[in-house]
């Protein structure tokens, strides 16, 4: 019995040291070495001040900004307060159906002639996605251009500049980082 207890304690200490200390330190070190921007949260700095993250969406509600997809993560893209995951509401859940219906009505009022891209009414798997599809950006161009008093052509060019292609030409879908786009929009065409 004494030998079994000593073995159990020794295994507990060794595995705690390996998987509770050494492994996390190794993973953090490799992240800092090979992916420093991502490991540090993809922070966007302006004049030495953090103004956002390339990796986590932010809520934008003004008509002068492109809007992100809806967030299921707490109170508007809060990675600390939320679980950082989807709502897990099923397609027949009344709460989900009501939210999507309300979002569709608002978007239809904003741009009645255009088809509403699905990513403007659905959350991402993480609930923190900072990116929208080029179609979702295109849908919002008339509203943002009118609010900023700029031409839709100029705004379309800015969206094109911020549209990222598929990774390695085959992975994922084309996408637009809303945070980076809105920051450049503020710098190049300030709100009136």
The residues near 117 (Cβ < 8 Å, ≥ 6 apart) are 132, 133, 135, 136, 139
pLDDT at residue number 99 = 84
pTM of the predicted model, to two decimals? 0.78
CA 42-45-50 angle, to 5 degrees, is: 85
104-128 tens-digit pLDDT: 899 988 888 889 999 888 887 777 7
Tens digit of each residue's pLDDT (9 = 90 or more) over 1-20: 889 999 999 999 999 999 99
- The band of 145, judged by pLDDT with boundaries at 50, 70 and 90, is very high
**CA 123 to CA 188: how far, in whole Å?**
29
Averaged confidence pLDDT in the chain: 86
Please check the confidence at residue 83 and state whether its pLDDT lies above 60. Answer: no
Q: Tell me which of 43 and 158 has the higher pLDDT.
A: 158
166 or 55: which carries more pLDDT confidence? 166
């Amino acid at each position: 019995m004494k030998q079994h207890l000593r073995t159990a304690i020794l295994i507990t200490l060794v595995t705690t040291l390996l998987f509770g200390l050494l492994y996390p330190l190794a993973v953090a070190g490799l992240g800092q070495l090979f992916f420093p921007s991502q490991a540090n949260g993809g922070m966007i700095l302006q004049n030495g001040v953090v103004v956002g993250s390339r990796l986590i969406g932010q809520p934008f509600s003004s008509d002068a900004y492109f809007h992100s997809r809806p967030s299921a993560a707490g109170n508007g893209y809060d990675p600390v307060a939320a679980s950082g995951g989807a709502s897990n509401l099923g397609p027949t859940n009344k709460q989900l159906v009501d939210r999507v219906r309300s979002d569709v009505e608002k978007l239809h009022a904003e741009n009645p002639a255009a088809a509403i891209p699905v990513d403007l009414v659905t959350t991402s798997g993480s609930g923190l996605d900072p990116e929208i599809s080029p179609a979702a950006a295109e849908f919002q161009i008339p509203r943002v251009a009118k609010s900023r008093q700029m031409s839709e052509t100029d705004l379309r060019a800015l969206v094109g500049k911020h549209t990222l292609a598929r990774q390695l030409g085959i992975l994922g879908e084309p996408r637009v980082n809303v945070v980076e786009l809105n920051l450049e929009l503020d710098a190049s065409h300030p709100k009136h």
